[in-house]
Amino acid sequence: MAYYYCLKHHAVEGDHGCKAADRMGPYETEDEASRALEIAREKTKAWDEDPTWNDDVPEPGSPE
Domain boundaries, given as residue ranges, for the chain: 3-49
CA–CA separation, 45 vs 48, rounded Å?
A: 5
One digit per residue, the tens of pLDDT, for the chain of length 64 reads 999 999 999 999 999 999 999 999 999 999 999 999 999 999 999 988 887 766 665 667 666 5
Coil, strand or helix at 46: helix
Q: Determine the straight-line distance between the first and last CA of the chain, rounded to whole angstroms.
A: 49
pLDDT at position 48 is 86
| Contact partners, residue 29, CB within 8 Å, separation at least 6 | 3
CA–CA separation, 29 vs 54, rounded Å?
A: 31
pLDDT at position 56 is 64
pLDDT at position 38 is 98
pLDDT at position 7 is 98
